[in-house]
Structure 1
Amino acid sequence: MITASLRSLYSRDLNKLKTEIESYQNEGSIWKTDQNIANSAGNLCLHLVGNLNHFVGTVLGNTGYVRKRDLEFSLKDIPRAELIEKVQATAITVDTVLSRLSEDDLKKEYPLVVFESTMTTDYFLIHLIAHLDYHLGQINYHRRLLDI
């Protein structure tokens, strides 16, 4: 039952990420920073895509995705259309991987130690959705503050 809930939440929030990126009136504003805003919406988007493709796609789904975390924050001026394609592809990957996980799989230990100790897969997937939503909120504020 939790698998269906996770799939629904990831789908909802990745679609919201796509909508936020589409909602910028000025495409260049996606990459703006300000004295108190260190990360652009574009870099946060790349970070979310990299994070989910690594921790869900590669670790749980064996997709072969290779994360380049430093580029998530250093790349600039990627076209909006490319960002949207990355988000859509990530949504498909996440949904495909989650659809293959049984309730028993979710109760197993997550294959990597990400924090200081081990955790169950369902716990980490809940953490990842919280991480997605945290940055999604930042992107929403970024757009409303800097899309001028």
Structure 2
Amino acid sequence: MQTHEVTSRFQFSPLHTLRNTEGDGLRGIEQLLGGTKRLIDSETQTIGTDEESISGLESELRRVKEQLENAEIHITYLLERVGTYRRKWLEDYYRAENLERCMPDSVVVPNLGQIPEGAASPAFCPELFSLEEEGSELRASL
């Protein structure tokens, strides 16, 4: 003959702690069921919290994507500016190189340190630079 051992565990909630002041037993059961409902609600809230955290992560991801797009736009803008100023620099560099090769030795171009701050541009104030022809040479005088 075989014998089987079965162990069962039960946990009872004491009804006397759930009874109201009048001692109504049904009220205690309702409170017990209400506790179960609260447990289910708290699990639902946990699910809601998970949804909120997922929603929070999605909004954070959208915000990061927007920042990335803005950074890409800004980088594109800066690259265009670098290209523009590089072209201007190259133009000025080659213009200066051509001037050095083609300009007569007698022409004196002042250094930037010699030009007073706020001085008028020669293009707007031609009397600052007057060209005088002396023989076959052109001379710029200040």
> Do Structure 1 and Structure 2 share a fold, with TM-score over 0.5?
no
TM-score tier, shorter chain, comes to under 0.3
Write 1 or 2 for the structure with the bigger share of helix. 1
Give the TM-score normalised by the residue count of structure 2.
0.22
- Structure with higher Rg: it is 2
Report which structure shows greater RCO (CA 8 Å, sep ≥6). 1
Write 1 or 2 for the structure with the bigger share of strand. 2
Give the TM-score normalised by the residue count of structure 1.
0.21
